[in-house]
Every structure is written in C-alpha cells, then in structure tokens.
Amino acid sequence: MIEYIVDGVPMVLQNFTLAEARCHGLNPDGSTHDCGLIILDPDFLLCLGLVRAEYDHGIFMSSWTRCLGHNTDVGGSDTSKHPLGRAGDLMPIEGGSMPRLRRICDKVFPYREHHNLFIHCDVRAK
C-alpha cells in the first residue's frame, strides 16, 4: 500500500509498494542499479489504481521511477516520463492475461506503448 497526500487530502493506492516505485533495475553490464529515488505522481497513481482494480490480478512493474542516469542507461528517451514518476512498465504476474491488461490500460492511461513483455503507460498531456 502507498499512502500519499494531494492538496491536503490523504490518498491510498492499494496493491503496490514504495519498494516497487523506487528507481532500481539492471545496468547495461548486468550489475544492479538501486539508487532508491522515488517520485510519486498523483495522476499516474490514480490511473494505476484504476487499472489494478479493474484487472483484479497482480501487476508487476518492471520499471517505474527512474533517475536521469538510469533512464539513460536503459535507453530511455530524453522526453521519457519515467524520470518524472509519470510512467510505468506493466506486466501481468504469472497467470494473468496480457491481452486483458492491454485493453484496460488502453482505456485508462492517456498514452501507451505495447511491447511484447510489458506495456509502457504514462500520463503525459494529450
């Protein structure tokens, strides 16, 4: 669970943790990057919560917050929304339907890129 505050109002995002939101992953040389940076964006958290509620199955976030250095290391673009905390790469945990997750993400997130193993979703302005 992630608790946060928007304009003084306490909010809760169920089913996800700060550990998942922090900048971490693999470097190009296979070593581990884990700087711990966390940026929470209320628009992104709202969409993520809506997707998770409708999907009703576990979602693995293969990438969420990224510091600028890690974004460059993993080949993210200069205009990537990951360093703003406004993007996430979603995939079903074992047993979940990828086509169904794609349909829900298409409905909820303003911007998506469909990859084989994950769905990049962000809340950039339309």
Site size toward Zn ion (CB under 5 A) is: 7
- 59 in contact with Zn ion (CB under 5 A): no
21: Cβ contacts below 8 Å, ≥ 6 apart: 2, 38, 39, 40, 61, 64, 65, 85
Compute how many other C-beta atoms are within 10 angstroms of the C-beta atom of residue 105: 24
89 in contact with Zn ion (CB under 5 A): yes
Q: Is 120 in the site for Zn ion (CB under 5 A)?
A: yes
Q: Is 86 in the site for Zn ion (CB under 5 A)?
A: no
Between CA 51 and CA 102 the distance in angstroms is: 10
CA atoms of 126 and 117, how far apart (whole Å): 25
Binding Zn ion (rule: CB under 5 A), the pick from 38, 39, 50, 67 is 67
Task: Find the shortest distance in angstroms from Cβ 120 to Zn ion.
Answer: 3
> For the purposes of burial, counting CB atoms within 10 Å of the CB of 28, is it exposed (0-12), middle (13-18) or buried (19 or more)?
exposed
- Options 19-27, 45-53, 94-102, 103-111: segment touching Zn ion (CB under 5 A): 19-27
Of the listed pieces 6-14, 49-57, 86-94, 104-112, which binds Zn ion according to CB under 5 A? 86-94
**CB 42, CB 4: distance < 8 Å:** yes
Can you name the residues that pair with 112 across neighbouring β-strands? 121
Please identify, using beta-carbon distances, which residue of 9 and 117 lies nearer to Zn ion. Answer: 117
Q: Which is nearer to Zn ion, 1 or 32 (CB)?
A: 32
Which residues make up the interface to Zn ion (CB under 5 A)? 23, 35, 37, 67, 70, 89, 120
